[in-house]
Structure 1
Amino acid sequence: MVKGKERLIVAIDTNEFDKAKELIDELDDSVDIFKVGLEQYVSTRGKTIDYLKEKGKKIFLDLKFHDIPNTMKSAVRSAVRDNVWLMTIHVSDLEGMRQCALVAKEEAEKLNIEKPLIVGVTVLTSLSNQDLKDIGCDMTTEELAIKRAKLAKESGIDGIVCSAQEVDKIIQVCGDDFVTVCPGIRPTTSEVGDQKRVVTPSEAINKGAQYLVIGRPITQAINPKQSAINIVKEIESVL
């Protein structure tokens, strides 16, 4: 049976290594997967990645690579060498994503390690329909997420990052073997913050989300460990 811990990814929301280390240590028994994003990676120059490896944790490297194909391939290759478990790229051109999928497979085979998962960012959960209109897109967030998910599936990458609000519809068109990673998850007792499309952990799992990314409701809680335990219990209550 799949455990709730296998579905929970905790985002390390700090730009200080010592605070990140303290959080990782506090959550050691209750969390197996941690997300290292731009703020944490740049400010510590990747130092947190090494510490997570020492602790035997799965690493979600969330740098959202988005560039010309050759640069993307080099970035993906470097991430594979870091032996991360999962990484993000932005959903972009079909051929560029295909090359990322291919180079990840080749590099992992060369190093004789398990290939990390590559997931494509569809539409950031901080964006609303009005935000898309403001930048000249005539689709809703849901329509654009589904369109990009289809493109990601065709390219051969492993899955996508999307809001749990549209994850069930994406699964319908891409299949339940397509990895779905959902940020913007907020327990009912947490503040929404800068997220505009939020869903509770149980709602997200019921919609079919495979992995839930949760940061501040855990990392800024009075008792982060207990908050993580409570969320794992909520996930398991609907599995």
Structure 2
Amino acid sequence: MIVLREKIIVALDTAEESSVKELVASLENRVEVFKIGLEQYLASRGKVVDYLNSKGKKVFLDLKFHDIPNTMAAAARQAVGHGVWMFNIHVTGLEGMKAVVEAAETEALKLGVKKPLIIGVTVLTSLNNNDLQMLGNRYSAGELVLKKAALAAKAGFDGVVCSANEAGEIKQKAVGDFLTVCPGIRPDWAVKGDQKRIMTPANAVKEGADYLVIGRPITKADNPAAAVEKIIKEIEGV
């Protein structure tokens, strides 16, 4: 069972090292997991992962690998060596995804560490049905998410990144403990931003979201710690 406070993953989407350290300091007694995306990872040359590890925090490395099987497998080995708790790749070819799982398992065994959770990226929550149609896709966002989730499970992934709108159906169809990691989480009191397929924290948990990825409603709040507590109170009764 996932501890309540570990359900919230705070997205540190900023290039400023001082901002990261200030946020972590203000949230370290309330948040266990932080997401590092492309901006902060590149800005810190990857050192932000070491910093969070030194603080005893779990790192969700959100770099969304998408390449040929050999390159993704090599990247997976580096992620294991860097000590991340979770990383993600786009759900694409089955061969490449299986290569990632095998590489991560082998590297973890070699280093004597626990394998990170491997999570498949289905459809970005900034995309809707119109966006997908413009790309020539004949499926709706929900349909495509379910198809990709099934493929990720077949590859041996631990779960998927998806909108909370699809979390419930994914959980119903999944075999075993298949995780749903849900961005696009917006409390009623927060600005919607550029996310299109969104849901409140409480409703997301009701739908079956295991982890809630939340950035600006927390990081841009006047009091980030108070924002976290507000969200925790919202979901603890679900």
TM-score in same-fold range (> 0.5): yes
Q: Tell me how many residue pairs correspond in the alignment.
A: 238
Shift of 1:3: 3.2
Contact 1:101 1:156 in 2 (8 A): yes
Shift of 1:176: 5.6
Q: Partners in 2 of 1:154 and 1:31 — Cα distance?
A: 32
Q: Partners in 2 of 1:75 and 1:13 — Cα distance?
A: 21
Deviations 1:77-125 (A, max 9, x none): 0000001000000001001101101111110011111110000000000
Equivalent residue, structure 1, for 2:234 = 234
Equivalent residue, structure 1, for 2:20 = 20
Equivalent residue, structure 2, for 1:110 = 110
Equivalent residue, structure 2, for 1:139 = 139
Shift of 1:179: 1.1
Q: Alignment partner of 1:9: what SS?
A: strand
Q: Give me the TM-score of the superposition, normalised by structure 2.
A: 0.98
Identity %: 55
Contact 1:125 1:197 in 2 (8 A): yes
Contact 1:4 1:233 in 2 (8 A): no
Equivalent residue, structure 2, for 1:76 = 76
Contact 1:158 1:178 in 2 (8 A): yes
Contact 1:12 1:40 in 2 (8 A): yes
Contact 1:3 1:236 in 2 (8 A): no
Q: Partners in 2 of 1:230 and 1:34 — Cα distance?
A: 18
Q: Supply the AA of the counterpart residue of 1:172.
A: Q
Gap change, CA 1:127 and 1:176, over 3 Å in 2 = farther
Gap change, CA 1:75 and 1:2, over 3 Å in 2 = closer
Q: Supply the AA of the counterpart residue of 1:88.
A: N
Q: Partners in 2 of 1:2 and 1:164 — Cα distance?
A: 17
Equivalent residue, structure 1, for 2:56 = 56
Q: Partners in 2 of 1:6 and 1:51 — Cα distance?
A: 19
Structure 2 unpaired stretches of 5+: none
Q: Partners in 2 of 1:107 and 1:228 — Cα distance?
A: 35
Equivalent residue, structure 2, for 1:214 = 214
Equivalent residue, structure 2, for 1:93 = 93
Contact 1:185 1:212 in 2 (8 A): yes
Q: How does 1:163-182 map to 2 (within 5 A)?
A: 163-175=163-175, 177-182=177-182
Q: Supply the AA of the counterpart residue of 1:68.
A: I
Contact 1:61 1:88 in 2 (8 A): yes
Shift of 1:2: 4.4
Q: Give me the TM-score of the superposition, normalised by structure 1.
A: 0.97
Contact 2:201 2:231 in 1 (8 A): yes
Q: Partners in 1 of 2:75 and 2:178 — Cα distance?
A: 23
Q: Partners in 1 of 2:2 and 2:178 — Cα distance?
A: 17
Contact 1:64 1:88 in 2 (8 A): yes
Q: Alignment partner of 1:51: what SS?
A: helix
Q: Partners in 1 of 2:235 and 2:7 — Cα distance?
A: 8
Runs of 4+ in 1 over 4 A off after TM superposition: none
Equivalent residue, structure 1, for 2:66 = 66
Q: Partners in 2 of 1:3 and 1:76 — Cα distance?
A: 26
State the superposition RMSD in angstroms. 1.0
Shift of 1:171: 1.2
Structure 1 unpaired stretches of 5+: none
Deviations 1:16-75 (A, max 9, x none): 111111111111101000000011101111121111011000000000000000000010
Equivalent residue, structure 2, for 1:196 = 196
Q: Supply the AA of the counterpart residue of 1:14.
A: T
Q: Partners in 2 of 1:69 and 1:150 — Cα distance?
A: 19
Shift of 1:151: 0.4
Contact 2:185 2:201 in 1 (8 A): yes
